[in-house]
Structure 1
Amino acid sequence: MTAVARTSYGALRGDASTGIVVFRGVPYAAAPTGERRWRPTQPVISWAGLREAVVFGPIAPQDVSPERLAKRGLTMSEDCLTLNIWTPAADDSRRPVLVFLHGGGQTQGHGSAPLLDGSRLARHGDVVVVTMNFRLGVLGALYAPDWHGADSTNLTLRDQRHALQWVREQIGAFGGDPSAITVAGQSSGAIAVSALLAGGCDLFDRAILQSGGLERVRSTTAASAVAEQLISTEALVRAEEPDVAEILAAQRDVEPGFVPPQGPFHPCIDGDVIEEHPLVAARSCAMPAIPILAGTTRDEWRIFDAALDDGVFTEQYVRDRAQTLAGDSLDADAVVAAYRVDQLTLRDVASALVTDYHFTAPTEQFVRAHAERGNPVFRYELRWPSPRAGLGACHDSCLPLLFGNLDAAPALAGNDDSARQMSETVQALWLNFVRGEEPWERYDGVSGATMLLGRDTGISRGHRGEQLGTWENRYPAYG
């Protein structure tokens, strides 16, 4: 079975074989190849006749083996600027729209990942779900205005903004409501959402930030240092116009950082797309006054520490990690002692330090500032544990719960009856927000309401205020 959507660029034939209509590989911009490689996103070229939209488009260039791509039926190319749309019907209904930005440190990931399949969510909520591909790594985040021009910065954000403009203009052809668009992002996708908000983007009506390390938006100094390192690599110096393999080879030579995570390819404050860091803009700028739902998982960093042996986590190692995060203005021993009050193991303390510094505290600062300016904010913490011992409620575990694709990654959240019930709870709350409702009590500051999602779901007040306060204003470069 097929279905047809008629956009202003041409007609598309989607796949309606599963009861949900899926339009895969829909182009939202011209291919960023050749002379357009280092250029801002350009409008897609119209086509004649009926264009097939039943196969996912190529993913953005990234480090992934050809064998793995072939196993998933995917290809990789710079010509990657496409959308995927799941809709109950390509009719005249005006359904709420959820646009989801994938994570992956802005070097990995794609909108066609099995975890992000929008079929269940679209069917369950009678909503339109959109995912997208955009430029990643060097091709999306190289800060070299003197090399490529002032409008060559933050190309990933420019792609995302262009895609959101396309959705605003065209989603009516897919049964969506262009006046009811929620943008959501997880991990680096959430960082992108915060950057879009800081840049004053008004192409969506509500925003969801899941597990975003918001402190990773970079200064131009940091971005320039990465660019200098890249431009000086043998591959890029040797090639007048390097090919994708040479670009990825140079990208691999950039030290990504571990603790604290540095994110060399995240957005930068370029003065064009972004003028201020999101943590500053939330306090000092007139960001779009839209409702925000935001939060983190309780044990974000455990999945990254899982590769380290237990013997690594000595008293000295944990103290050194705390010192790295705390800098000279905090007593590292006092910081560790504050976490040991809960009788955590050294491994758990080490992970909790980075979870709070990198994810929870900056998210808290961002939403608190937005709430104190009178905007609706709904704060959560996911506590649903992974069935894999030691991971707890780890990074990425929110994805199978939200999309309902528990079978795509059972190690993250489980795939039994209780996990399915948790997924239904998360979906119901998120869908209420997407529909313009208030999913739970608003968060209004330090003592406000936080929804704890887990085996005992419910509201907590003043949640973890003391521990998060440890990291308050630990981002001096941002004001």
Structure 2
Amino acid sequence: MTALAHTSYGVLRGAAGEGAAVFRGVPYAAPPTGERRWRPAQPVSNWSGVRDATAFGPIAPQDIAPVRLAKRGLAMGEDCLTLNIWTPAADDARRPVLVFLHGGGQAQGHGSAPLLDGARLACRGDIVVVTVNFRLGVLGSLYAPDWHGPDSTNLALRDQKHALGWVRDEIAAFGGDPGAVTVAGQSSGAVAIAALLAGGCDLFDRAILQSGGLERVRSREAASAVAAQLGALRCGGEPGVDEILAAQRGIDTGFVPPQGPFHPCIDGDVIAEHPLVAARTRAMPAIPVLAGTTRDEWRIFDAALDENVFTEQYVRDRARALAGDACDVDAVVTAYRAGQQTLRDVASAMVTDYHFTAPTEQFVRAHASRDNPVFRYELQWPSPRMGFGACHDSCLALVFGNLEAAPALAGADAAARRMSDAVQSRWLEFIRGGEPWERYDGVGGPTMLLGADSAAVRDYRVEQLALWENRYPAYG
């Protein structure tokens, strides 16, 4: 069966399934190819007749095995500025809209990932779900205004803003309400939302930040240093995609903390200052925000390291790398020894807080101080995989309900399904304009602990999170 949507650019033909129609590979901007490679997204051209929207568009260039692409029936290329829309019906019902920005360190990922399939969430909540592809890696984040012009910076963010503008203008054709748009993002997608808010973007009405490493917005100096490593790309004319990907692999990101060489940078145009500074020094768009992290974000990454890596010295070196040379290493390590079983757990917990929990708390604390509705959470539902805990990406399986797509993240049994239903209910309450739990009201304010026995608690881990106040070098 098919479904039709009548947009300003022409008619789209999607696929109608059980309870929802899906429109895949919908272009929201002109292909960023040729002379448009280093330019902000441009409007898509109109088309005549009915355009097919039953297949996903190409994903942004990234390191991914060709066999994985082929298995999923996907292509990869620079013509990647497309989005996917799941809707109960392309009618005039004016449903709330959720626009989701994927994670992946702004170097990997795509909106057509099975984990992000929006059918279940759209049907259950009677909402419209949109996922977005945007430029990644060097093509989305190169800071080289001297090479390509001042509007060539933060192209991934510019793509995302363009997509949000397209949604405002066109989502009514898919049964959505352009006046009730929630933007959500996970990991680097949440970092992007914080950056958009810091830049004053007003193209959405509510925001959900999931597992965002919000300290990972780069200074001009850090972004310029990455560009300097890519200087060879300027030799011999415009490089090909394979050359760009090869150059990306050679970027030196140092020890810990992971530097995030492709995250947004403070370019003075799209972003004037670090989101953690903007949040506390001036008013951002006065919208409700739901934000949080998982309890054990970093464990899934440290799980790849051998146990013998985690010596006393390694843990101390990590603490110093995170907290700075002037920190009291003994105090930091001692604070994280409590409640942790192994040195691996201590090391992982420090990175979890430095990169994810503490900056998220600081961001929402500042937003709440201006009387904006804020709802803070920590996901404590554990992965069935030994050693992962409540790990990074587990929120995706629970929010979208696609547990079977990655059962190692949150499980796929009846208990996991009940947990997913509970998380979805709270997210949908927020998307619909409601309040899913008690508002966060500053340091020690209510934090919803989402797990087998969910409850909102006060004064949750205040002392540990205070260790990371003002520890982020990009502040300057």
Instruction: Identify whether the pair has TM-score above 0.5, normalized to the shorter chain.
Output: yes
| Alignment correspondent of 2:287 | 290
Q: 1:37 to 1:17 in 2, by over 3 A?
A: same
Q: CA deviation at 1:319?
A: 0.9
Deviations 1:250-274 (Å, cap 9, x if unpaired)? Answer: 1111123451010001000001100
Q: What CA distance in whole angstroms lies between the structure 2 residues aligned with 1:243 and 1:60? A: 14
Equivalent position amino acid for 1:103 in 2? G
Q: Choose which of 444, 447, 452 in structure 1 pairs with 2:449.
A: 452
Query: What are the within-5 Å matches in structure 2 for residues 78-89 of structure 1?
Result: 78-89=78-89
Equivalent position amino acid for 1:62 in 2? Q
| Alignment correspondent of 1:396 | 393
Does the 8 Å CA contact 2:375/2:439 hold for their aligned counterparts?
Answer: yes
| Alignment correspondent of 1:317 | 314
| Alignment correspondent of 2:159 | 159
Q: What CA distance in whole angstroms lies between the structure 2 residues aligned with 1:214 and 1:426? A: 22
Query: What are the within-5 Å matches in structure 2 for residues 338-357 of structure 1?
Result: 338-357=335-354
Deviations 1:343-387 (Å, cap 9, x if unpaired)? Answer: 431110000000001100000000000001111000000000000
Q: What CA distance in whole angstroms lies between the structure 2 residues aligned with 1:384 and 1:109? A: 24
Equivalent position amino acid for 1:248 in 2? L
Q: CA deviation at 1:330?
A: 1.4
Q: What CA distance in whole angstroms lies between the structure 2 residues aligned with 1:340 and 1:68? A: 40
Does the 8 Å CA contact 2:274/2:474 hold for their aligned counterparts?
Answer: no
Q: Secondary structure at the match of 1:279?
A: helix
Does the 8 Å CA contact 2:383/2:394 hold for their aligned counterparts?
Answer: yes
Q: 1:442 to 1:188 in 2, by over 3 A?
A: same
Q: Which moved more, 1:111-120 or 1:329-338?
A: 329-338
| Alignment correspondent of 1:62 | 62
| Alignment correspondent of 2:189 | 189
| Alignment correspondent of 2:305 | 308
Deviations 1:378-401 (Å, cap 9, x if unpaired)? Answer: 000000000001100000000000
| Alignment correspondent of 1:438 | 435
Q: What CA distance in whole angstroms lies between the structure 2 residues aligned with 1:476 and 1:409? A: 35
Unaligned runs of 5+ in 1: none
Q: What CA distance in whole angstroms lies between the structure 2 residues aligned with 1:19 and 1:469? A: 47
Normalised to the residue count of structure 2, the TM-score between the two structures is: 0.99
Q: What CA distance in whole angstroms lies between the structure 1 residues aligned with 2:80 and 2:473? A: 37
| Alignment correspondent of 1:138 | 138
Equivalent position amino acid for 2:459 in 1? G
Q: What CA distance in whole angstroms lies between the structure 1 residues aligned with 2:169 and 2:230? A: 37
Q: What CA distance in whole angstroms lies between the structure 1 residues aligned with 2:342 and 2:131? A: 39
Deviations 1:314-364 (Å, cap 9, x if unpaired)? Answer: 111111111111112211111101111224311100000000011000000
Equivalent position amino acid for 1:354 in 2? V
Equivalent position amino acid for 1:125 in 2? G
Does the 8 Å CA contact 2:336/2:346 hold for their aligned counterparts?
Answer: yes
Equivalent position amino acid for 2:364 in 1? V
Q: Choose which of 245, 250, 262 in structure 1 pairs with 2:247.
A: 250
| Alignment correspondent of 1:229 | 229
Q: Secondary structure at the match of 1:280?
A: helix
Q: CA deviation at 1:238?
A: 3.9
Does the 8 Å CA contact 2:218/2:474 hold for their aligned counterparts?
Answer: no
Q: What CA distance in whole angstroms lies between the structure 2 residues aligned with 1:459 and 1:307? A: 33
| Alignment correspondent of 1:91 | 91
Does the 8 Å CA contact 1:207/1:291 hold for their aligned counterparts?
Answer: yes
Deviations 1:150-208 (Å, cap 9, x if unpaired)? Answer: 00000000000000000000000000000000000000000000000000000000000
Equivalent position amino acid for 2:65 in 1? S
Q: What CA distance in whole angstroms lies between the structure 2 residues aligned with 1:458 and 1:268? A: 37
Q: CA deviation at 1:476?
A: 4.5
| Alignment correspondent of 1:149 | 149
| Alignment correspondent of 1:24 | 24
Q: What CA distance in whole angstroms lies between the structure 2 residues aligned with 1:348 and 1:86? A: 39
Q: What CA distance in whole angstroms lies between the structure 1 residues aligned with 2:444 and 2:464? A: 14
Whether 1:267 and 2:264 are equivalent positions in the alignment is: yes
Equivalent position amino acid for 1:138 in 2? V
| Alignment correspondent of 2:42 | 42
Q: What CA distance in whole angstroms lies between the structure 1 residues aligned with 2:338 and 2:14? A: 56
Count of residues paired in the alignment? 476
Q: CA deviation at 1:237?
A: 4.1
Q: Secondary structure at the match of 2:391?
A: coil
Deviations 1:413-440 (Å, cap 9, x if unpaired)? Answer: 0000110000000000000000000000
Unaligned runs of 5+ in 2: none
Q: Choose which of 355, 358, 370 in structure 2 pairs with 1:358.
A: 355
Normalised to the residue count of structure 1, the TM-score between the two structures is: 0.98
Deviations 1:198-228 (Å, cap 9, x if unpaired)? Answer: 0000000000000000111000111011111
Instruction: State percent identity of aligned pairs.
Output: 78
Q: CA deviation at 1:299?
A: 0.2
Does the 8 Å CA contact 1:187/1:213 hold for their aligned counterparts?
Answer: yes
| Alignment correspondent of 2:210 | 210
| Alignment correspondent of 1:428 | 425
Q: Secondary structure at the match of 1:122?
A: helix
Does the 8 Å CA contact 1:257/1:263 hold for their aligned counterparts?
Answer: no
Query: What are the within-5 Å matches in structure 2 for residues 171-186 of structure 1?
Result: 171-186=171-186
Whether 1:102 and 2:102 are equivalent positions in the alignment is: yes
Q: What CA distance in whole angstroms lies between the structure 1 residues aligned with 2:320 and 2:152? A: 37
